[in-house]
Amino acid sequence: MSKSHAGKRVLVTMGDLCGIGPEIVAMALGHPQAGMAAQLCVVGDAAVMRRAMAWAGVQRPLLRLSSLDELENLPPHSVALWQPEGLPQGLLDCAIGQIAAKAGAAAAHCVEAAVAAIQAGAADALVTAPIHKEALHAAGIGYPGHTEMLQALAALDGAPAPVRMMLANNELRTVLVTIHCSLRKAIELINVDSVLETLRIAQAAMLKFGIAAPRIAVAGLNPHAGEGGLFGDEEILHIAPAIALARAEGIAASGPFAPDTVFMRARNAAGHPGEFDVVVAMTHDHGLIPVKYLGVEQGVNVTLGLPFVRTSPDHGTAFDLAGSGRADASSLRAALNMACELLP
Amino acid sequence: MSKSHAGKRVLVTMGDLCGIGPEIVAMALGHPQAGMAAQLCVVGDAAVMRRAMAWAGVQRPLLRLSSLDELENLPPHSVALWQPEGLPQGLLDCAIGQIAAKAGAAAAHCVEAAVAAIQAGAADALVTAPIHKEALHAAGIGYPGHTEMLQALAALDGAPAPVRMMLANNELRTVLVTIHCSLRKAIELINVDSVLETLRIAQAAMLKFGIAAPRIAVAGLNPHAGEGGLFGDEEILHIAPAIALARAEGIAASGPFAPDTVFMRARNAAGHPGEFDVVVAMTHDHGLIPVKYLGVEQGVNVTLGLPFVRTSPDHGTAFDLAGSGRADASSLRAALNMACELLP
């Protein structure tokens, strides 16, 4: 909390322009929280962001940079924008609240450009506004989401970075073994290696968060964590052996626990001290249902295992709210805060 | 709430005697809530219940009935017990906090006897304390849980009753399409018929709860409810068609919705009116994680679709707490209340 981020640069991509991304970015950067010392810069299309600032009622000027180095001398109370070369033309023609291939292509292009800038040393961290997976798909982009795209962009010598999605709010953190695939496919992806790698990544992340001896709970895959093999054997074949190997490495992992109660046990709230610092979950929804249950306003998605800091809000494009100026930027603000917190 | 249950008989099985079942039954029946007009009777072993009452600090006398009709003339401030014929001998020899075949056999026998009494017209409703599925298994009993056992016991002309598990607390209700099986098997069990039957059962239950026009949300199976087919096709092939058929029958079902946000949307709390009266979930843990997240103390399990009322607490045997007298009977009390609420 006390760390200084002055001079650190955080890039914020606008997301799918047919959703609420540009608006919440306009809100968060147009009315930044007091004490936010990092330099913030939108990566997006100038016309789209001007429209979004109007919808969001943001009066500050939008300053289009020709280089990220201009962030050093930005006038106060302005919103900085970097529009990468090669964005599709005519983006304002995309219908708000609809899937558009052009919007998907633009969203992906902003992420790619932002990662390239970070890799070139021109910025330090990435915060992404929501994209729409079907729009990406319509644009011929084969990634189901940000996490997979970032994993590929951060590949070293062709090997994808071993990344995992973490979701966190004020009372619960969860790291997911599998994410954006069918539940059938997720079950196939659970093995000793994938669980052990998740435990190592979760351990490293908790240390980064300043937790000296992280208590890591592992949720099972099956009801009652398999009930001793009666309801599935993934706990016996894959999850328990991975926990044993992690413990041999000095990681304080325990489980596998019944999925339906482990999140309740980890919940850290007033009068309810959590038993664990983080829960490793086997599937997207086992982990995300409890993080989102009390509201998505404070939830933050963190990509662990990348060579740079990346966070995002834990909600989607909310097509039904886009253009209304009524979207809630709380989760994006929380994502900005967490990105600053994790800055090296 | 205002309905009179005077003269109605509610049977409460003791559960697995190696767990907290006998203790919480002793607490709930030894200190019943004011205004509980129904006649309550433990179904269990007299020696086990005497020991549990001592652990729980219950001073009232335990009256062993020779017939349930004696409930009509019970002395005040006593705890009634009906010990069915044929319970295993020497139950006090079972080690507390351990799986014991004899305890599993005794727990199952109490449930069977209670159902037989209800079917014979000698009682009106059943509340069950937790059993342990591995103990049942050790006793050679092939049911993974109460719900499946009750389904078989209530079979008419050999056809199992079409039952579903509902979990409810003060802010959320969920009805499950699949329950006690591996996640792989659960996916195989999802089809138009199983989802449609669940919707019909959920609709009937909500009407019984006094909700005139129930709003039923249906959670998908896959992340993002399949993201338009990118992450699995069960939503397209099975779930959406079942919703359409239910709507054609006049059931206000909607979805399939992304599992990670539909429970948050349905949550009905102060300042957060729920969008739905009940959520139909495809898997055990999709439904139970959010119901249990804020604590199991108020959660109640209701078996829908049986020819009689049956409820239970939504926690397990808690072997680690058994014998300590420190278990929390809140969920069992809530289950007793809900059973009375649902009495015909």
pLDDT tens per residue across span B316-331: 899 999 999 999 999 9
Computed on alpha carbons and rounded to an integer, the radius of gyration of chain B in Å comes to 20
**Which residue carries 């075949």 as its tokens?**
B101
CB contact under 8 A, A296 and B261: yes
Angle (deg, nearest 10), helices B146-153 and B101-119: 40
Give the separation between CA B15 and CA B318, rounded to whole angstroms: 12
pLDDT tier for residue B122 given thresholds of 50, 70 and 90: very high
3-state secondary structure of A108: helix
At A1 the pLDDT is 38
Q: Which of B26, B70, B61 is nearest to B44 (CA)?
A: B26
Q: B-chain residues within 8 Å CB-CB of A283?
A: 223
Q: Which of A152, A172, A285, A42 is nearest to B257 (CA)?
A: A285
Residue-wise pLDDT for A281-338, tens only, equals 999 999 999 999 988 778 899 999 998 999 999 888 999 999 999 999 999 999 999 9
Q: Please answer whether residues B325 and B336 qualify as being in contact, where contact means their C-beta atoms are separated by less than 8 angstroms.
A: no
At B144 the pLDDT is 80
Q: Sheet with B125-128: list strands edge to edge.
A: B62-65, B79-82, B39-43, B9-13, B125-128, B309-313, B300-304, B164-168, B173-176, B278-281, B216-219, B253-257
With a cut of 50, say whether residue B2 has pLDDT above it.
Answer: no
Q: Six-digit token pair at B217?
A: 């949300």
Distance in Å, alpha carbon of B187 to nearest chain A alpha carbon: 8
- Mean of the per-residue pLDDT values of chain A: 93
Give the separation between CA B320 and CA A248, rounded to whole angstroms: 26
At A342 the pLDDT is 86
Give the pLDDT mean for A191-217: 95
Phi first, then psi: give them for residue B248, nearest 5 degrees: -65, -25
Q: Please answer whether residues A303 and A148 qualify as being in contact, where contact means their C-beta atoms are separated by less than 8 angstroms.
A: no
Q: Six-digit token pair at B336?
A: 């007793």
At B217 the pLDDT is 98
Q: B-chain residues within 8 Å CB-CB of A137?
A: 230
Q: Sheet with A164-168: list strands edge to edge.
A: A62-65, A79-82, A39-43, A9-13, A125-128, A309-313, A300-304, A164-168, A173-176, A278-281, A216-219, A253-257
Give the pLDDT mean for A166-176: 95
Chain B residues bordering chain A (beta-carbon distance below 8 Å)? 133-134, 137, 144, 179-187, 221-224, 226-228, 230-234, 259-261, 263-264, 267, 272, 283-286, 288-290, 292-296, 315
Q: Which residue has the higher pLDDT, A32 or A56?
A: A56
With a cut of 90, say whether residue A36 has pLDDT above it.
Answer: no
State the distance between the two ends of chain B, measured CA to CA, in whole angstroms. Answer: 13
The count of other CB atoms within 10 Å of the CB of residue B327 is 24
Q: A-chain residues within 8 Å CB-CB of B294?
A: 264, 267, 293
Helical (H) or strand (E) element with B13: strand B9-13
Q: B-chain residues within 8 Å CB-CB of A182?
A: 222-223, 226, 231-234
At B4 the pLDDT is 60
At B315 the pLDDT is 87
The verdict on pTM exceeding 0.80 is yes
Q: Who's near B146: CB < 8 A, 6+ residues apart?
A: B111, B128, B131, B303, B310, B312
Angle (deg, nearest 10), helices B330-342 and B21-30: 60
Q: Please answer whether residues A80 and A65 qualify as being in contact, where contact means their C-beta atoms are separated by less than 8 angstroms.
A: yes
At B218 the pLDDT is 98
Rounded to 5°, angle at Cα B103 from B102 and B109: 90
Give the pLDDT mean for B283-299: 91
Q: DSSP secondary-structure letter at A217?
A: E
- Looking at chain B, the whole-number percentage of residues with pLDDT higher than 70 is 98
Give the pLDDT mean for A85-109: 97
- Mean of the per-residue pLDDT values of chain B: 93
CB contact under 8 A, B285 and A288: no
Q: Which of B222, B264, B296 minimises the CB distance to A183?
A: B222
Q: Who's near A244: CB < 8 A, 6+ residues apart?
A: none
Give the separation between CA B155 and CA A75, rounded to whole angstroms: 77
State the distance between the two ends of chain A, measured CA to CA, in whole angstroms. Answer: 13
Q: Who's near B239: CB < 8 A, 6+ residues apart?
A: B190, B195, B218, B220, B221, B255, B256, B282
Q: Which of A8, A14, A46 is nearest to A29 (CA)?
A: A14
* Strands, E assignment, chain A: 9-13, 39-43, 62-65, 79-82, 125-128, 164-168, 173-176, 216-219, 253-257, 278-281, 300-304, 309-313
Residue-wise pLDDT for B56-81, tens only, equals 999 999 999 999 999 998 888 899 99
3-state secondary structure of A9: strand
pLDDT tier for residue B19 given thresholds of 50, 70 and 90: very high
Q: Six-digit token pair at B175?
A: 């009805």
With a cut of 90, say whether residue A46 has pLDDT above it.
Answer: yes
At A2 the pLDDT is 40
Computed on alpha carbons and rounded to an integer, the radius of gyration of chain A in Å comes to 20
What separation in angstroms does the CA of A163 have from each of A204, A228, A245, B267? 12, 31, 20, 32
Give the separation between CA A326 and CA A48, rounded to whole angstroms: 17
Give the separation between CA A141 and CA A107, rounded to whole angstroms: 11
Angle (deg, nearest 10), helices B192-208 and B240-248: 50
Q: Please answer whether residues B121 and B87 qualify as being in contact, where contact means their C-beta atoms are separated by less than 8 angstroms.
A: no
Q: Please answer whether residues A30 and A333 qualify as being in contact, where contact means their C-beta atoms are separated by less than 8 angstroms.
A: no
Q: DSSP secondary-structure letter at B302?
A: E
Q: B-chain residues within 8 Å CB-CB of A231?
A: 144, 180-182
pLDDT tier for residue A93 given thresholds of 50, 70 and 90: very high
Q: Which of A184, A227, A294 minimises the CB distance to B134?
A: A227
The count of other CB atoms within 10 Å of the CB of residue B56 is 24
Q: B-chain residues within 8 Å CB-CB of A179?
A: 223
Residue-wise pLDDT for B167-206, tens only, equals 999 899 999 999 999 999 999 999 999 999 999 999 999 9
pLDDT tier for residue A225 given thresholds of 50, 70 and 90: very high
Cis omega (within 30 of 0) on the bond before A256? yes
CB contact under 8 A, A285 and B227: no
Domains and CATH numbers, chain B: 1-161+328-344 (3.40.718.10), 170-294 (3.40.718.10)
Q: Six-digit token pair at B318?
A: 């808690």
Give the pLDDT mean for B158-169: 87
With a cut of 50, say whether residue B1 has pLDDT above it.
Answer: no
Chain A residues bordering chain B (beta-carbon distance below 8 Å)? 133-134, 137, 144, 179-185, 187, 221-224, 226-228, 230-234, 259-261, 263-264, 267, 272, 283-286, 288-290, 292-296, 315-316
Q: Which of A303, A305, A313 is nearest to A335 (CA)?
A: A313
Residue-wise pLDDT for B202-257, tens only, equals 999 999 888 999 999 999 999 999 988 989 999 999 999 999 999 999 999 999 99
